Amino acid sequence: MHAEIAGAGFAGLTAAVALRQRGWTVRLHEKGPELRAFGAGIYLWHNGLRVLDNLGVLEDVLDGTHTPPIYETWLHNKSVSRETFNGLPWRLMTRQHLHDALANKARAEGVEILVNSEVVAADPLGRITLASGEVREADLVVGADGVGSKVRDSIGFERDRWISTDGLIRLIVPRKKQELGHGEWDNVIDMWNFWPRVQRILYSPCSENDLYLGFMAPAVDPDGSRVPIKLDYWIEMFPFLEPVLIEAAKHQTARYDRYETTKLDVWSRGKVALVGDAAHAMCPAIAQGAGCAMINSLSLAMELEEIPDVEEALGSWEKRIRPITDRCQAISGEYAANRSLSKGNQFTPRATEAARYDPVKRRVMPW
């Protein structure tokens, strides 16, 4: 059996490795000139870590990453909650670190990876068309080409799409622990301010040396959404972070991203399956987009192993896995719209359902 996959992000790489490990030949098309991750840091939870374990890359990924002792929430610079998620495994890392581990595994397993290879269309019979005009055939086409998916749009899935009012600038800077002075700087600290204006910094240590900073502001705020960051504007609200804010202001090429949600009528048509943001982009409030992308990609390969008929397997896969993603997407949207995380203690059993899902055991781990 042969698969053609569009997009070498976390979804496409996971699907490629999982299918290859089950005996498929896999060709992975990446439109960019090289394999690289966009963005800064990433939170992985039990679900994503279980996928990495199943693919055989968990040890490589854990090396050089960090589990903060506590997820702290501050409102107007005062602590409102300190969460440890009832012992639920979680991990922070740079995106490039995770991407490199998955890409290395794909190469080692014999996935054929083509860069500068843009998929411009697909059809349910299992054909893809490349930007070069070349057409390729497969038993399975996977559209893992992100929120702007051409695979999805060329086939014409019904979809709803929302863009949120807030967005985030994401950067990796040196940790500068000594310069920050006294404080629990190994924790995640989610710092919210609503007065005199809405501004949030998500402080997330990723490794011994790397700090992931997320700068959140409403899109209508020209200063808060400005890139490079407006140093005095952020120091005024978060003066104790000055050493790392100075580093952040040096980044000239950062991007302000608004949160996007996409909801489709179905995730597959004929021999074409959509995974990751192509199928279910969600607000990042509870940091689950990549986790869901990875469990859905692994689950797809597992389903195809059990049900030899591709179209039947795709239907069964969506039925099994989609409800958890749908609920996760809904709560992510609700939290983003209400800025709920500012209240603290929001990682409830309901909010952590997807994070607790074990794709191998096919059940949600208890809270």
Ligand X SMILES: Cc1cc2nc3c(=O)[nH]c(=O)nc-3n(C[C@H](O)[C@H](O)[C@H](O)COP(=O)(O)OP(=O)(O)OC[C@H]3O[C@@H](n4cnc5c(N)ncnc54)[C@H](O)[C@@H]3O)c2cc1C
**Binding stretches for ligand X (CB under 6 A):** 6-12, 29-32, 39, 42-43, 118-119, 144-146, 150, 168, 170, 257, 259, 276-278, 284, 287-291, 293
To ligand X, the closest distance from the beta carbon of 273 in angstroms equals 12
How many helices (H) and strands (E) are present in the chain, helices listed first? 11, 20
To ligand X, the closest distance from the beta carbon of 68 in angstroms equals 13
**Minimal CA–CA distance to 148: which of 120, 116, 115?**
120
To ligand X, the closest distance from the beta carbon of 219 in angstroms equals 13
Residue number with CB closer to ligand X (131 or 235) = 131
CA 251 → CA 28, 97, 172, distances in Å? 31, 19, 9
Place of tokens 């950062």: 254
DSSP state of 239: G
To ligand X, the closest distance from the beta carbon of 363 in angstroms equals 20
To ligand X, the closest distance from the beta carbon of 339 in angstroms equals 14
Residue number with CB closer to ligand X (145 or 303) = 145
Residue number with CB closer to ligand X (167 or 195) = 167
**Minimal CA–CA distance to 292: which of 204, 224, 353?**
353
To ligand X, the closest distance from the beta carbon of 79 in angstroms equals 22
CA atoms within 13 A on the CB side of 126: 10
- Report phi then psi at 213, rounded to 5: -115, 130
Residue number with CB closer to ligand X (200 or 271) = 200
Residue number with CB closer to ligand X (218 or 243) = 218
- The rounded Cα 59 to chain-centroid distance in angstroms is 20
- Report phi then psi at 25, rounded to 5: -90, 140
To ligand X, the closest distance from the beta carbon of 178 in angstroms equals 27
DSSP string, 12-51: HHHHHHHHHTTT-EEEEE-SSSS----SSEEEEEHHHHHH
Q: How far apart are the first and last CA of the chain?
A: 39
Residue number with CB closer to ligand X (99 or 269) = 99
Residue number with CB closer to ligand X (237 or 328) = 328
Place of tokens 């048509």: 269
Give the separation between CA 54 and CA 57, rounded to whole angstroms: 8
To ligand X, the closest distance from the beta carbon of 146 in angstroms equals 3
DSSP string, 161-191: EEEEEEEEEEEEEE--HHHH-SS-TTSEEEE
Give the separation between CA 30 and CA 190, rounded to whole angstroms: 34
- Residue 337's CB is within 10 A of a number of other CB atoms, namely 15
Residue number with CB closer to ligand X (60 or 257) = 257
Residue number with CB closer to ligand X (276 or 344) = 276
To ligand X, the closest distance from the beta carbon of 289 in angstroms equals 2
